[in-house]
Amino acid sequence: MTAYLKLDHIDKIFTRGNATTEVLKDINLTIEKGQYVSIIGHSGCGKSTLLNIIAGLTTASTGGVLLENREVNSPGPDRAVVFQNHSLLPWLTVYENVRLGVDKVFAKTKTRAERDAWVMHNLNLVQMAHARDKRPSEISGGMKQRVGIARALAMEPKVLLLDEPFGALDALTRAHLQDSVMALHQKLGNTILMITHDVDEAVLLSDRIVMMTNGPSARIGEVLEVPLARPRKRLELATNTTYLKCRQRVLEFLYERHRFVEAA
Amino acid sequence: MNMPATKIEVETATPAATAAPVVAMTPKRAPRSEAYARMAREAAVRVVPPLVVIALLMLVWELVCRRAGSALPPPSKVFKDTKELIVDPFFDHGGIDKGLFWHLSASLQRVALGYSLSAIAGIALGVLVGQSVWAMRGLDPLFQVLRTIPPLAWLPLSLAAFRDGQPSAIFVIFITSVWPIIINTAVGIRNIPQDYRNVAAVVQLNPLEFFAKIMIPAAAPYIFTGLRIGIGLSWLAIVAAEMLIGGVGIGFFIWDAWNSSHISEIILALFYVGIIGFVLDRLIAGLGKVVTRGTAIS
């Protein structure tokens, strides 16, 4: 297995005054190019912190992140993030939101016309080209998230980081968007790391599922390979024994061995 | 259970589909006169009530001040006394004997200069205080004390410093209106959501781009609140400052009218001061609306 993205002995300790909390302990993970990996765990287990460390938005206390054997410790477009709450800039149109990143990343390598075409290409990928001149407040939650995905894709990231991308959406929109992400992954072959707390979503989308124990000092409890052929069809999988077995395995991990304990 | 539920769905879906184009057609076919009538009605709803109230107040004022020996003139007398000033605001007999237009324009020029300076300095300082924790700790206590000093208390000091009326008045405008701009800008900058900062970090905007593309638009609604309070305060301060420094200006015009017992002229000037203050406030509010269009949190 060739490591494309490598998390090397990552610890994260938060210090506030005299109190220190160890959030993450000794996280080791290697991800191959083109893989879709999900990180699942109960809320508060530090999975978002882990994603922020990979994105470079926070720094690890010890250990580091290697992308193609080069250490990365500051944010950059090679690890574009799709944020949970879309984080589109409300004063820019859909087009301008995507263009902001494109202008920065391809400032030297693409001409104006090429950048314009590239923005439209990415909006087309997520089927949002029709709303190019709308502002985020004028489109629905699912549409906003699509634009968020287009913005991240347009930066041509080496790794696409998804931070609970479907968390704030209703079930139908979520399923629709999951299918879109699956199709995009199939088409573009991106390396994707997704944070989620939804078992079905994890099994449906991922090649591997990383299960995290409860915090504090959360570790990687188990890594599950999902040996399902792609393209995957939601309806067919509902009765697929491999799918059900994988699902069962994750559920057991989350609800038997590492049941969520309410923090006092 | 299932059957009736699906049936209802089908029934509601069909009429909606056919109803939609009809709804879209109606405004096009509506006669133009009807639209004008509606606009007129809307305008009337807004304009008539204040007109009625003003008319009633005028009537009361007329009745109260009509008696012989009353200290203040009734509206009819105010109009009669100031007719010349109203009809010809542009005369210039040299010195300070000028039409109201010249007085108002002198005041507005001072406000424009002082306010522009305070907008620039206020936004710059506000960004500094909002962005840097140390700047806030160092400067905020100072601001909180200085902003409570009444505008006119600065005037003697600025006269001593500048030795001239004109820059002193401008300084008073500046020092009066700068505080709300600083404080509101700082709050706006401090309230920029972490999400926007993360986006900027991932895209790798440099500090200058971050300032122009994220910070200013994100803080714009707060900045305009500050600017709007600021313009109101500078118009308040100018009248008071001009009473003391003399020369041309609506403040001095009022003071001069009082010294020559032209009470009607004072009332006319107050009317103008109020209208212009209102217009200035609307102007900044309108500008803010245009600039911050779409900036509201969604």
DSSP B207-230: HHHHIIIIIHHHHHHHHHHHHHHH
Tokens of B90: 């542009």
CA A222/CA B234 separation, integer angstroms: 66
Please tell me the least confidently modeled range out of A225-239, B14-28, B121-135.
B14-28
Nearest CA in chain B to A153: B203
Q: Domains in chain A, start-ordered, CATH in brackets?
A: 1-69+191-263 (3.40.50.300)
Q: Identify the band that residue A261 occupies on the pLDDT scale cut at 50, 70 and 90.
A: low
CA B169/CA B242 separation, integer angstroms: 7
Place of tokens 């900036």: B295
Q: Identify the band that residue B82 occupies on the pLDDT scale cut at 50, 70 and 90.
A: confident
Nearest CA-CA distance, residue B74 and chain A, Å: 52
Cβ-contact A54, A34 below 8 angstroms: no
User: Touching check for B212 and chain A: CB below 8 Å?
Assistant: no
B-chain CB neighbours of A105 within 8 Å are 203
Report the run of H or E that residue B276 belongs to, with start and end: helix B263-291
Cβ-contact B38, B30 below 8 angstroms: no
Q: What is the pLDDT of residue B29?
A: 56
Furthest CA-CA distance within chain A: 57
- CB atoms B198 and A75 under 8 Å: yes
Q: Look at residue A20 and give its three-state secondary structure.
A: strand
Q: Which of B202, B213, B214, B293 to mutate to test the interface with A (most CBs of A within 10 A)?
A: B202
- CB atoms B202 and A104 under 8 Å: no
Is pLDDT at A259 greater than 60 in this prediction? yes
Nearest CA in chain B to A140: B298
β strands within chain A, DSSP E: 5-16, 19-31, 36-40, 62-67, 70-72, 81-82, 159-163, 191-196, 208-212, 220-225
CA B251/CA B155 separation, integer angstroms: 14
CA B131/CA B205 separation, integer angstroms: 16
Show Cβ contacts of residue B201 under 8 Å, excluding neighbours closer than 6 positions.
A56, A57, A74, A75
pLDDT digit string, tens, across residues A139-190? 998 899 999 999 999 999 999 999 988 887 888 888 989 999 999 998 888 8
pLDDT digit string, tens, across residues B186-205? 999 999 999 899 999 999 99
pLDDT digit string, tens, across residues A198-215? 899 999 999 999 999 887
How far apart, in Å, do the first and last CA atoms of chain B sit? 39
Q: Domains in chain B, start-ordered, CATH in brackets?
A: 101-289 (1.10.3720.10)
* Of B21 and A73, the one with more pLDDT: A73
Summary mean pLDDT of chain B: 85
Please tell me the least confidently modeled range out of A34-43, A219-228, B95-104, B275-284.
B95-104
Q: Which of A53, A91, A138 to mutate to test the interface with B (most CBs of B within 10 A)?
A: A91
Look up the pTM and report it.
0.78
pLDDT digit string, tens, across residues A108-147? 899 999 999 999 999 998 889 999 899 998 899 889 999 9
pLDDT digit string, tens, across residues A16-56? 888 888 888 888 999 999 999 999 988 878 888 899 999 99
* Of B235 and B6, the one with more pLDDT: B235
Cβ-contact A12, A54 below 8 angstroms: no
β-partners of residue A10 are: A27
Tokens of A159: 């790794």
ipTM for the predicted complex: 0.86
**φ, ψ for residue A106 (rounded to 5)?**
-110, 25
Residue A261 buriedness (CB in 10 A; 0-12 / 13-18 / 19+): exposed
**CA-angle at B262, arms to B261 and B265, nearest 5°:** 150
User: Touching check for A58 and chain B: CB below 8 Å?
Assistant: no
CA A184/CA B246 separation, integer angstroms: 74
* Crossing angle for the helix pair B250-259 and B100-131, to the nearest 10 degrees: 130
- CB atoms A77 and B202 under 8 Å: yes
Cβ-contact B118, B185 below 8 angstroms: no
- Please name the residues between 195 and 254 in chain A that touch chain B, using a CB distance below 8 Å: none
pLDDT digit string, tens, across residues B111-138? 999 999 999 999 999 999 999 999 999 9
Q: What is the pLDDT of residue B30?
A: 59
Nearest CA in chain A to B200: A101
Show Cβ contacts of residue B81 under 8 Å, excluding neighbours closer than 6 positions.
B73, B262, B264, B265
